[in-house]
Amino acid sequence: MTVDPRAASGFADVAEAYQRGRPGYPREAIDRIVGRFELTASSTVLDLAAGTGQLSRLLQRRVGHVIAVEPVAAMRARIAADLLQITVLDGAAEAIPLADAAVDAVVVGEAFHWFDVAAASAQIARVLTAQGGVALLWNTPTWTVQDTPWLHAFRQIVADHRRAAGDYPAGNGSWKDPFERAGHFERLVHSQAVHKQTLEPDDLLAQIGSWSWIANLQSAARAAVLDDVAALLAGHGEIVIPYRTDLYLAKRRPALEPD
Ligand SMILES: C[S@@+](CC[C@H](N)C(=O)[O-])C[C@H]1O[C@@H](n2cnc3c(N)ncnc32)[C@H](O)[C@@H]1O
C-alpha cells in the first residue's frame, strides 16, 4: 500500500479535530455529482480517502450504498462510529480493496493530491461500472485581508511550516496531466461552487490542528503555533470563512474491445 508517510502520520491523531474543524462540501457540488452520474437509491458510491467521512455523510442520503475506503485507522474508526450503514474498509487509492465494476461513482474529497496518479486512476477506473465516473473535490478559502483583518498575521504564523512540509505528491494541479495521460477517463469537466463555514475560534483551532503539516510538527512546535493563533483570535466571536469548491467530474472511458 502506498500512502505518503506525511499523510499516514499527519492524519493519525486528528480525527476529532478534523471532523470538528473542516468545512464539508456545498450541496450544489453533491447535486452535480448525483446528476452527472445519474445516481439513484440503487447506486453504490465509493468515498475514496474518506477521512472522517465528510463526503460519505452527504452522499448516504442520496444513494443506496456508500463504501468508505481510508488507510488511517483513527479516521476510519470515526466513520464507523457515526455512520453505521456505511461499509468502511482499510485501503489505499493505489490498491482499492474492491472487485472490478463494483461501484457507480468514486468521490475523492481533498485527497487526490496525495495519490500516485497513474496507479490511482487505473484503480478507480477498474472498480467503476462501464457508465460510472469519478468526482474530485477541493475546498479553497477565499478570505482576504480586507474582510479578515487578522489574516495577514495568521499567515505569518503558519507560512513557514507549510513551506517546510514540502509539496504534495500530486499537488498544485500537477495531478491533471498524468490523470489525462493515463487515458482511463473522458475529458475532465471543471466547475465551482461557493459555500461558507461559520465557526467558533476553537473550531478554527481544531481545523488548523488537523492540517497534516501542522499535525506532523513536534508537539512543542505544534502547541506554539496553536497558542499563537489562539492569542490572535482572543476575544473574537464567530468566524465566517468563505470557500470555493473546485469540482472535477469525468466519466469512465469505455474499455477497448479486442479486435
Ligand atoms: C484532507 S483528508 C480528506 C478526507 C475526506 N475525503 C474529506 O473530504 O474530508 C485526506 C485523506 O486522504 C487519505 N489518504 C492519503 N493518501 C492516501 C492514499 N494513497 N490512498 C487513500 N487515502 C489516502 C488520508 O489518510 C486522509 O484521510
Torsion angle in degrees (nearest 10) through CA of 75, 102, 249, 253: 140
Instruction: Look at residue 120 and tell me whether its pLDDT is greater than 90.
Output: yes
Please work out whether the CB of residue 117 comes within 6 Å of at least one atom of ligand 1.
no
Other CB atoms closer than 10 Å to residue 42's CB: what's the count? 9
Measured CA to CA, the distance from residue 160 to residue 143 in angstroms comes to 20
Please work out whether the CB of residue 98 comes within 6 Å of at least one atom of ligand 1.
no
Q: What is the pLDDT of residues 184-233, one digit of tens each?
A: 999 999 999 999 999 999 999 999 999 999 999 999 999 999 999 999 99
Task: Tell me how far the alpha carbon of residue 101 lies from the centroid of ligand 1, in angstroms.
Answer: 22
**What is the residue-averaged pLDDT of the chain?**
95
Per-residue pLDDT band for 258 (boundaries 50, 70, 90) equals low
For the chain, domain boundaries: 5-140+168-196+245-251
Model pTM score:
0.95
With 0-12 CB in 10 A as exposed, 13-18 as middle and 19+ as buried, what is 28?
Answer: middle
pLDDT at position 257: 57
Instruction: Look at residue 2 and tell me whether its pLDDT is greater than 90.
Output: no
Atom of ligand 1 nearest to the CA of 72: 25
Q: What is the pLDDT of residues 47-87, one digit of tens each?
A: 999 999 999 999 999 999 999 999 999 999 999 888 889 99
**What average pLDDT score do residues 145-165 get?**
95
Task: Tell me how far the alpha carbon of residue 259 lies from the centroid of ligand 1, in angstroms.
Answer: 39
pLDDT at position 1: 54
pLDDT at position 259: 55
DSSP state of 171: T
Q: What topology does CATH give the domain 5-140+168-196+245-251? A: Rossmann fold (3.40.50)
**What average pLDDT score do residues 84-103 get?**
97
C-alpha cell read off for 58? 452527504
Measured CA to CA, the distance from residue 19 to residue 199 in angstroms comes to 13
Please work out whether the CB of residue 22 comes within 6 Å of at least one atom of ligand 1.
yes
